């Protein structure tokens, strides 16, 4: 078999399975946090597995779902040490991990910590065979289920309540393990009650149902204030969890007057009622920009281009606006004024 050809052996079959199984739940997951990342499991051994950790924090009671997709499988080698698999665990698997260590782990290489050095006792527990765990009635308290990466089936599901959150501090981790001499590539998707959106852009771009944010209108109200109408043209959801970002990862609305930026606001302030989550519920945003002279006004939604959309061209619109004569006090073009 030609080099790297093995990486494509099962990609089509598993891809079809993954998107059929996982994204039939798209509507249910609209308000959940999401991690959707690629992984690479390099060759390992039965007594020295190659391990990848994907930590995450559950913010409130709800359901954790873990899906996986294999995109490359090495069929040239005999899996003498066992087949690759993953375990859903909570942070007790690390044997009283310090808060600072957990925070560092979550921030390291965007949620991935390959070959993390753990305490010897914790490591001995992690490398136990899955069949030993399943055959033992007294499973470790941190253990919440497992899946073999090459098996077809439903996602791994765990319901978390208030008592669980007190016990675990909301800290959970998916542990991908490879005890075989083969190499395996794939994607892991974790949906959970939280506030994060950590999705590889190219994976998000492949989602069948994506939102399509658009600037529909730019006009003046009777007081000559700039009004921008924004819509989600669909067909997909704009996940509510994306409203939580206030930093550089936030979806922003920007308004310029004669080429000068006058407004830059996160979507949580533009759409506090989550109207843009669904198609067909436009948002009318009344700015504090009042025009006294004709001006060229442009508006752009998702100015940082953080959302994968079917059409990026409709994110921006420009209009030449001429204010009507009013009795309001004179101000400079594009000047902000207090709302009435």
Listed by start position, the domains of the chain span: 5-198, 213-336
Burial of 20 (0-12, 13-18, 19+ CB in 10 A): exposed
Q: What is the mean pLDDT of residues 128-140?
A: 52
Burial of 227 (0-12, 13-18, 19+ CB in 10 A): middle
Token pair of 291, please?
């025009």
* pLDDT band, very low/low/confident/very high, at 300 (cuts 50, 70, 90): very high
Residue labelled with tokens 């010897």 = 120
User: What percentage of the chain reaches a pLDDT higher than 70?
Assistant: 74
Whether the pLDDT of residue 82 is over 70: the answer is yes
Q: What is the mean pLDDT of residues 67-91?
A: 80
Q: Where are the alpha helices (DSSP H) in 127-231?
A: 130-134, 162-168, 201-205
| pTM for this predicted structure | 0.74
Buried residues in 275-293 as b, exposed as e (16+ CB within 10 A)? bbbebeebbebebebbbbe
- One fold for both 5-198 and 213-336? no
* pLDDT band, very low/low/confident/very high, at 102 (cuts 50, 70, 90): confident
Q: Which residue has the higher pLDDT, 245 or 269?
A: 269
Which CATH superfamily groups domain 5-198? Answer: Mitogen Ypm (2.60.120.510)
Per-residue pLDDT, 18: 41
According to the per-residue pLDDT averaged within each range, which of 188-192, 199-203, 208-212, 336-340 is highest?
Answer: 188-192
Q: Where are the alpha helices (DSSP H) in 207-292?
A: 267-270
Q: Which strand ranges, in their side-by-side order, compose the sheet holding 225-232?
A: 213-220, 225-232, 283-290, 335-336
Q: Write out the CATH class of domain 213-336.
A: mainly beta
Per-residue pLDDT, 27: 43
Q: What is the mean pLDDT of residues 251-263?
A: 94
Q: What is the mean pLDDT of residues 145-167?
A: 90
Q: What is the mean pLDDT of residues 95-104?
A: 73
* pLDDT band, very low/low/confident/very high, at 195 (cuts 50, 70, 90): confident
For residue 203, the number of C-alpha atoms closer than 13 Å in the C-beta half-sphere is 21
Task: Report the alpha-carbon distance of residue 268 to residue 273 in Å, rounded.
Answer: 8
């Amino acid at each position: 078999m030609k080099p790297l050809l093995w990486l494509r052996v099962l990609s089509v079959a598993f891809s079809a399975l993954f998107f059929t199984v996982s994204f039939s739940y798209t509507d249910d997951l609209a308000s959940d946090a999401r991690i959707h990342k690629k992984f690479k499991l390099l060759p390992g051994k039965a007594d020295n597995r190659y391990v990848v950790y994907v930590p995450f924090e559950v913010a409130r009671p709800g359901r954790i779902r873990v899906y996986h997709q294999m995109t490359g499988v090495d069929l040239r080698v005999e899996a003498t040490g066992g087949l690759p698999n993953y375990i859903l665990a909570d942070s007790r698997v690390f044997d009283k991990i310090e808060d600072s260590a957990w925070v560092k782990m979550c921030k390291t290489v965007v949620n991935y910590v390959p070959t993390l050095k753990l305490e010897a006792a914790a490591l001995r527990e992690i490398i136990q065979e899955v069949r030993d765990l399943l055959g033992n009635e007294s499973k470790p308290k941190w253990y919440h289920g497992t899946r073999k990466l090459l098996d077809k089936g439903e996602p791994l599901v765990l319901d978390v309540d208030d008592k669980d959150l007190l016990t675990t501090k909301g800290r959970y981790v998916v542990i991908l393990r490879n005890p075989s001499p083969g190499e395996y590539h794939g994607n892991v998707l974790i949906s959970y009650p939280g506030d994060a959106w950590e999705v590889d852009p190219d994976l998000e771009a492949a989602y069948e149902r994506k939102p399509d944010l658009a600037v529909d209108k730019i006009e003046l109200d009777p007081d000559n204030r700039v009004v921008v109408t924004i819509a989600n043209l669909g067909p997909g959801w704009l996940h509510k969890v994306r409203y939580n970002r206030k930093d550089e990862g936030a979806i922003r609305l920007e308004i310029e007057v004669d080429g000068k930026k006058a407004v830059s606001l996160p979507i949580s302030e533009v759409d506090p009622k989550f109207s843009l989550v669904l198609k067909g519920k436009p948002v009318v945003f009344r700015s504090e920009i009042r025009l006294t002279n004709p001006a060229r006004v442009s508006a752009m939604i998702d100015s940082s281009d953080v959302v994968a959309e079917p059409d990026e061209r409709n994110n921006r619109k420009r209009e030449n606006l001429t204010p009507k004569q009013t009795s309001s006090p004179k101000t400079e073009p594009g000047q902000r004024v207090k709302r009435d």
